Structure 1
Amino acid sequence: MGELQVEINTSIVPVIDLRYFGDSDYDKLREACEEWGCFRIVNHGMSPNLMAEMKETVRCLLDRPMEIKRRNVDAIAGSGYMAPSAINPLYEALGLYDLGSPEALSSFCDQLDASPHQREIIEKYAGAVHELAMDIGRKLAKSIGLDSDLFKGWPCQFRINKYNFTPKSIGSSGVQIHTDSGFLTILQDDENVGGLEVMDKNGEFLAVDPWPGSLLLNLGDVAKAWSNGRFCNVKHRVQCKEASIRVSIASFLLGPKGEEVEAPSELVDDEHPRLYVPFSYEDYRKIRLSTKLQAGEALELVRARVSLNSC
């Protein structure tokens, strides 16, 4: 099937149309990252059939018996099966550490007894999302005047989420307020059930309604540190709006593997002193887990000795 064509409509967050992406769109992309830390992309080239089949596959995997889902073990902390917890009692998820790795994809499918057809869909989706993550990464780098292949080789984590909303849970939180720990998140949201909210620069939460066919992208803590504070690590949450099962698919471009997160020298000068000391993504993730600082506050613990203006 041909490229997905989605027309631009009104949206709370900025919208980037990849079909006609040109020189002027780099400024629009940079502004979205600086002001919002999130944006929608439309006409991204991912087949609507593939997106629909992946959503169906995800629903099947999340309906597996608990003993099968628990086979989905962590490669790094938080990368495998996440059962409902006291903090997030309505939420569960399955995960894969690096969707760019054929071996990791095969292991993930083995753990969950995926059928040959489901394996094919997962592999196609992973390939498409990984290619898209690299493309957006190149565009983000170019938007601030940097080399376009800076994110090649960064692991891209995959997580499929299920929210078990009931009549009693309406008005409650599906997932607590948080920022993502990595660089970039690509989200295929539930096309029917809303609930996602993002915080604007005034500290107010705004509902981000479902938009079938589009993908929502947001920046995390690594993006803020890597950009030397230029990009915003957007706070977000999921609220229960209706008694329904809500399913989403998230892919996270994390950070450099075996190297440290550090703002490129081109982004550091007398007017923009270095805001964060170099750190490894894994060390930073451990800091977030051990301190339970999940909404960007952990960046203060890797801050250089300069004044930090939060975005």
Structure 2
Amino acid sequence: MDTKCSIPVIDLHDFPNQLPKLMAACEEWGCFRLINHHEVLPSSLMSEMKSVVRSLFDLPVEIKRRNLGVIAGSGYVAPTATNPLYEALGLYDMASLRDVENFCSQLDASRHQRDIITKYAGAVHKLFIRIEEKLAEGLGVKGEDIAFENWSCQFRINKYHFTSESVGSPGVQIHTDGDFLTVLQDDDDVGGLEVMDKSGRFIPVDPWPNTLIVNLGDMATVWSNGRFCNVKHRVQCKEATIRVSIASFLLGPREAIKPLAALVDADHPSVYVPTTYEEYRKLRYSTNLHAGEALELLQTSSSGN
């Protein structure tokens, strides 16, 4: 296996030794690759989920259209003029067994498919909590004082219909994730994901089977009082083939999110005003600012910007 990786690699089995490296990854990159997570999310479950995902995308369009979303992007997304190569299915909230069951019913999932989807959603939710606790520890905050398990989640599976004519074109435009944290099970064989480093260069994130990509989104920047960066990323068409990925999004608390009190003092005033994920999601869509620029609209007068 080629373990070469351009972004930081975090070993979930090596804490607290990995804590300084985790903080550096969040502050300098806004993303990292997670390895040795199989105690929480086994490689066998990842493989089974990938097979289920491919079968769901093979369903007739009329069945896929039953997958209705309660917020933008949480249901079926057909190819559009903006993203003609992209198709997606999803649900909100993956931490809710009722929502997961509803998603399965919409798509006429078999008992086996339901079992795999339910196990996967539960495992990723546990992984979210584990990662969040590490982030809180790195910031000097007690994770047990934050009800991470009650934060909303979103689940989306993505399919890219790359053709020979589309090679070199974007599969998905440059953006940041508006959520708090994203866990991505990327395609094991087909590359295309690229992240932007602090110099503005796009760095390819090559396939590395049985690992996960973790992105920090706009809500994490607010929560950390600007200490964590939100990574800009895109998907480029590298070859004429089908590319499939599985993305899970930890959106944030159902109430307002604001900079952690432990990170705010006279020398470090609050950079952002409180907001909820839903308020911020609507702000991004109404302003058409999808690459983190909408955060500037949340800045306080004391931030000096």
Is TM (by shorter chain) over 0.5?
yes
Decide which of 6, 10, 23 is 2:4's aligned counterpart. 10
User: Does the aligned pair in 1 maintain the 2:270–2:303 contact within 8 Å?
Assistant: no
State the alpha-carbon separation in 1 of the partners of residues 218 and 226 from structure 2. 10
Structure 1 residues 8 and 229, CA gap change in structure 2 (3 angstroms): farther
Which sections of structure 2, spanning at least 5 residues, go unmatched? none
Which residue of 2 is the match for residue 143 of structure 1?
A: 138
The offset of 1:197, in angstroms, is 0.1
Deviations 1:13-35 (A, max 9, x none): 1001112x222311111110000
2:76 partner amino acid: Y
The offset of 1:77, in angstroms, is 2.2
State the alpha-carbon separation in 2 of the partners of residues 25 and 49 from structure 1. 25
Which sections of structure 1, spanning at least 5 residues, go unmatched? 1-6
Which residue of 2 is the match for residue 180 of structure 1?
A: 177
Which residue of 2 is the match for residue 42 of structure 1?
A: 35
1:12 partner amino acid: S
- Give the structure-2-normalised TM-score: 0.96
Which residue of 2 is the match for residue 3 of structure 1?
A: none
Which residue of 2 is the match for residue 157 of structure 1?
A: 154
Which residue of 2 is the match for residue 112 of structure 1?
A: 107
The offset of 1:76, in angstroms, is 1.6
User: Does the aligned pair in 1 maintain the 2:180–2:216 contact within 8 Å?
Assistant: yes
State the alpha-carbon separation in 1 of the partners of residues 133 and 216 from structure 2. 14
Are 2:56 and 1:67 equivalent residues in the alignment? no
The offset of 1:41, in angstroms, is 0.7
Which residue of 2 is the match for residue 56 of structure 1?
A: 51
Deviations 1:208-232 (A, max 9, x none): 0000010000100000011000001
Which residue of 2 is the match for residue 250 of structure 1?
A: 247
State the alpha-carbon separation in 2 of the partners of residues 67 and 293 from structure 1. 32
The offset of 1:166, in angstroms, is 0.3
User: Does the aligned pair in 2 maintain the 1:155–1:256 contact within 8 Å?
Assistant: yes
Deviations 1:17-56 (A, max 9, x none): 112x222311111110000000011110222211111001
SS of alignment partner, residue 231 of structure 1: coil
The offset of 1:245, in angstroms, is 0.3
Which residue of 2 is the match for residue 272 of structure 1?
A: 268
Are 2:299 and 1:303 equivalent residues in the alignment? yes
Which residue of 2 is the match for residue 88 of structure 1?
A: 83
Deviations 1:129-185 (A, max 9, x none): 110011001111111111214222001110000000000000000000000000000
State the alpha-carbon separation in 2 of the partners of residues 87 and 273 from structure 1. 39
Which residue of 2 is the match for residue 234 of structure 1?
A: 231
Deviations 1:87-129 (A, max 9, x none): 1110010011111111001000000010110000001111111
State the alpha-carbon separation in 2 of the partners of residues 110 and 135 from structure 1. 30
The offset of 1:292, in angstroms, is 1.0
SS of alignment partner, residue 39 of structure 1: strand
SS of alignment partner, residue 23 of structure 1: coil
Which residue of 2 is the match for residue 79 of structure 1?
A: 74
The offset of 1:86, in angstroms, is 1.3
User: Does the aligned pair in 2 maintain the 1:287–1:298 contact within 8 Å?
Assistant: yes
User: Does the aligned pair in 1 maintain the 2:3–2:208 contact within 8 Å?
Assistant: no
User: Does the aligned pair in 2 maintain the 1:8–1:17 contact within 8 Å?
Assistant: no
Decide which of 178, 198, 207 is 1:210's aligned counterpart. 207
After TM superposition, the structure 1 stretch with the greater mean CA deviation from structure 2, 21-30 or 8-17, is 8-17
State the alpha-carbon separation in 2 of the partners of residues 32 and 163 from structure 1. 28
Decide which of 20, 26, 36 is 1:27's aligned counterpart. 20
User: Does the aligned pair in 1 maintain the 2:95–2:122 contact within 8 Å?
Assistant: yes
The offset of 1:255, in angstroms, is 1.0
1:14 partner amino acid: P
The offset of 1:8, in angstroms, is 9.5
2:278 partner amino acid: E
State the alpha-carbon separation in 2 of the partners of residues 308 and 297 from structure 1. 16
User: Does the aligned pair in 2 maintain the 1:166–1:243 contact within 8 Å?
Assistant: yes
- Give the structure-1-normalised TM-score: 0.94
Give the RMSD, CA atoms, in angstroms: 1.3
Are 2:195 and 1:198 equivalent residues in the alignment? yes
How many residues align? The count is 301
